[in-house]
Structure 1
């Protein structure tokens, strides 16, 4: 079983989470979550299918800035590099692109 459960999520007893489901951070899951579904909230409710969620983020990567650095490096940025990143992300959001080990 492969699922994504966001930080701080509470799942009540006897609740079943289907394969490839996504549970938003801080959610309280009170009922079964079907496979390939995205749930979030308190109580957690259906948001969209996992397929729609995936398409949304693929489109986001194509339309928004991508940052080709690991998070640990981004949080250490200072001065001009930090200002450049802030200007790229002004009034929008971006994606951190993590390279596969064989691409390093």
Structure 2
């Protein structure tokens, strides 16, 4: 039986509009973007330009990273605004004099600017980010979240929340608090491939209780 292969750049045979993000990143020179297994980016034009066109202002000055978990689906035009886009706001002017070099940079090098400190952008597991959405610096997106098309995410997204708007707000939650707690415990995205293959129908059409029953039957419940 032929198996889905995410260890190749184009995981859909004879289709060049979707790429395995992990493979794309590993084949690049970019070191501060980290992607988990099975996550992909689709683009109507050229998805291989993701690191140049969709990870914006990634100059490395802020020392921050973009971390994307497993089984994430990123639609055309999704953009991550890295912290290097920010200007210093401590003084009278926000103008980045040192960027233009020469006497302005000699006077105060860019490395000495009092920039605000930012955290990494983190995208959890099993996250779907819709067409044209923008993720701003300092944002953490929880597991199982959905980000609506053309949304601008400026604050953290809870696990299994559906967010939309500009700025994005919680529209609803996909599951109850108890169900979210169960899903966070199951961490199905970390299961071995054999169990994932078996559980596809449950993952697509089943309930949390169905998945819990399967995990229990297979001995996949982790006990502390």
TM-score by length of 1: 0.48
Greater relative contact order, per chain length (Cα 8 Å cut-off, separation 6+): 1
